[in-house]
Structure 1
Amino acid sequence: MLAEHIIYSCALAIMVGMVALKYTGRDHSWIIILCAWAPDIDILANPVLNQLGFTLLYEGHKIVHGGFHNIAIMVIFGIAVAFLLHPLGIKFLDSFVYSVIGFGAHLFEDALVYRVGYRFLWPLSSNVMGLGILTEIQSEEDYIRNFFGIANTGVLIMGLVLLCAAVLIRTRVEGRTWLRWYIPSRLYTTIFTR
């Protein structure tokens, strides 16, 4: 799932940003979108480390896709992102929460799509899990990217519906002004002042 994670995380970021802005006065929901692909770092881990002359074992095996799709890596990743963004003026807790939400969104989206997914609850449980609510896809091997090779049409359409619903809900609650957080000011004035 390449494009789908961005679409689903944008919908989630819009809603989380609305709630955070109301209660904290801050909206760093862009972190959710940036962290949506983080669990897929495991695809690049072994080739990059091997090129650098390192061999890293994860539970006694080389890192394979799905190895980072669990809550232990999610917490470690959240802490690392919080330390990286704190010098940029983003509160430690804010960046931790947003990055964990983005990472967790990826895991939840995979669970919704695959009936047999990954060991999401490791180290609490080593069971391979999945819900498969959105599709009839059994596992990642059965996943077909039939939308320009980057997305499954059914999963993508469901994500676009959720994104439109999130935009409509936030626009209904806050008005069009919330779009200024996401759309550059020149483009915003071009669209909404004519």
Structure 2
Amino acid sequence: MTQTPGRRERKKAATRQALSEAALRLFLERGFDQVTVAQVAEAADTAVTTLFAHFPGGKEALVLGDGAERAAALTAAVRERGPGVSILDALQAFLATRGPYEPNLSPEFRRRTDLVVRTPALRAHARTLWTGNEALLAEVIAGEAGRPAGDLSVRVLARYVLEVPDLAALEPDPRRALETAFDHLRRGWPGF
């Protein structure tokens, strides 16, 4: 049985949403680098301290979050893959539903994705969010593949997988670039 969030949780969620929406609107209108956190807070009718309470990662986190959802979804893609689905197939399928790889993005999400891809600070933050999961992904891959924890080959594979989003996003056809990258990974790590 799930509990309905209390008033306090609903207010926090509404504030987070208002901040995120105000930030995206301002970033799209003026450009990411031309907007301050004070302007975002003002547009959302909150204080700067409130903004940082909800988004301690600052401006980049307003668009990309803190990475917790990303880490959970990434590990779930490996752990919860179907029978007979390889680790690399599961990771490719997972990435194919994200950002510039998803062919059926809503117009709002497409604008957000384009903003991230064309803004160096956001791209760098997105890359940091991905690569920050290296140890976690390596641990999950090792466990699923029956490899020892800390296996260098698994750590290298995890690092390469997590670099793919940044590399492929800049290509003229990001989805095709994603496929190409995973074709190379499969050749280097057969059986994964």
TM-score range (shorter-chain normalised) is under 0.3
More RCO (CA 8 Å, sep 6+): 1
The alignment's TM-score, normalised by the length of structure 2, stands at 0.27
The structure whose residues are more often helix, as a share, is 2
The alignment's TM-score, normalised by the length of structure 1, stands at 0.27
